[in-house]
Amino acid sequence: MKLFEFEQHFPDEASCRDKFRQIRVKEGVVCPHCGNTHHYWKNSKQCFQCANCGYRQSLRANTVMHGSKLPFRYWFIAMHLLTATKHTFSATELQRQLGHKRYQPIWEMLHKLRSIMGKRDDRYTLKGNIELDEGFFSTETPDSRKGEKLKAGVGSQKKGKVLVIAESADVENAKPGMKPKKVGHIKMIVIPDLKATTIDGKAVSAVNPDSSIITDACSSHTNFKNLFGEHKSQVIDPKDIGKVLPWVHIAIANAKTLFADTYHGVKPEFLQEYLNEYCYKFNRRYFGEDLFHRLLMIGTSYQPDFEHRIYNSKAA
């Protein structure tokens, strides 16, 4: 959505509330008490009332805004900014744009939006020809480990381990200069270690079992032949990585650049949230101006898992 359209459609708090209610009704309000989906809107109380049991829930309850006291318009502006460009916004920048005096609620709002993006993408598994590899993202030292002596050369930076998976179909008769493969959807999943059992579990939940999966010859992938339709494992010369696993490495490089350009540092405990946003937008790169409405739709139907609160701390 273009900026002037946003201003036109959502000039104030009331227009944002109305739009949110309208979409929530369209997506379906569910009673958390009895599961009924038929509700009345009680205008005097600004809440939904279940037609079956009478249970009332506010407009924000059981949505991305659950428990939030920020204006609806803040949420709309955040969704607009997150979807209007290929880039993203740090909480510091959004706080500055909104002129809000406290950092923490703005930071939480962005992470809640990233959380529902991840929940939405978790509904889908990748299928067909699949590239899979591990990526290593620089993260800050977690607060709990500050003061510990880190290994020489590591400095204050730690590496977050990420399983990166991409649907990647061969391009027939690729012309010189063209990429040999065409990318579909991607997933990036933070993993605690590189053990085969850890990676097997994550790969199985992310990839359809009929898929044909290509990886390097690392021992972490030895069980894939039993888990997927086909496993192509090969020793890859680093100079050939762009031919064999092009899309996982393009995605890793682009996400790293984006994070480095936008955030002062990413704490390891929040790395997954930033990856959620990156993958969500990558997977919807052809949606164009519809992206804002899609995010608004899932905003009415998903409640974020994100409830982390660290007051008086600046985290990305």
Report the C-alpha gap between 139 and 270 in whole angstroms: 9
Site string for Zn ion, 158-197 (x = CB under 5 A): ----------------------------------------
Q: How far is the CB of 217 from Zn ion (least distance, A)?
A: 56
- 25 vs 34, beta carbon nearer Zn ion: 34
- Please report whether residue 33 would count as binding Zn ion according to CB under 5 A: yes
- Please report whether residue 52 would count as binding Zn ion according to CB under 5 A: yes
- Please report whether residue 50 would count as binding Zn ion according to CB under 5 A: yes
Site string for Zn ion, 55-94 (x = CB under 5 A): x---------------------------------------
- 115 vs 301, beta carbon nearer Zn ion: 301
Q: CA distances (Å), 252 to each of 16, 69, 77, 312, in order?
A: 36, 35, 28, 31
Nearest 5°: CA angle at 296, between 48 and 189?
115
Q: CA distances (Å), 216 to each of 52, 58, 137, 197, 236, in order?
A: 56, 51, 19, 17, 6
Q: How far is the CB of 179 from Zn ion (least distance, A)?
A: 52
Q: How far is the CB of 296 from Zn ion (least distance, A)?
A: 25
Report the C-alpha gap between 74 and 109 in whole angstroms: 9
- Please report whether residue 53 would count as binding Zn ion according to CB under 5 A: yes
Q: How many CB atoms lie within 10 A of CB 134?
A: 18
Q: CA distances (Å), 314 to each of 74, 90, 105, 155, in order?
A: 20, 11, 12, 20
- Please report whether residue 45 would count as binding Zn ion according to CB under 5 A: no
Q: How far is the CB of 106 from Zn ion (least distance, A)?
A: 34
Report the C-alpha gap between 271 and 106 in whole angstroms: 17
Q: How far is the CB of 47 from Zn ion (least distance, A)?
A: 13
- Please report whether residue 29 would count as binding Zn ion according to CB under 5 A: no
DSSP single-letter state for residue 171: P
Instruction: Specify the stretch interacting with Zn ion by CB under 5 A; choose among 26-34, 120-128, 207-215, 245-253.
Output: 26-34
Q: How far is the CB of 53 from Zn ion (least distance, A)?
A: 3
**CA-based Rg of the chain, rounded to a whole angstrom?**
22
Nearest 5°: CA angle at 307, between 302 and 309?
155
Q: How far is the CB of 52 from Zn ion (least distance, A)?
A: 5
| DSSP for 38-93, written as a single string | -EEEETTTTEEEETTT--EEESSTTSTTTT--S-HHHHHHHHHHHHHSSS---HHH
Select from 31, 64, 113, 295 the one that contacts Zn ion (CB under 5 A).
31
Q: Which residues, at least 6 apart from 43, have a Cβ–Cβ distance to it below 8 Å?
A: none
Q: How far is the CB of 17 from Zn ion (least distance, A)?
A: 23
Select from 6, 17, 23, 36 the one that contacts Zn ion (CB under 5 A).
36
Instruction: Specify the stretch interacting with Zn ion by CB under 5 A; choose among 30-38, 62-70, 151-159, 185-193.
Output: 30-38
- Please report whether residue 6 would count as binding Zn ion according to CB under 5 A: no
Interface residue list for Zn ion (CB under 5 A): 31, 33-34, 36, 50, 52-53, 55
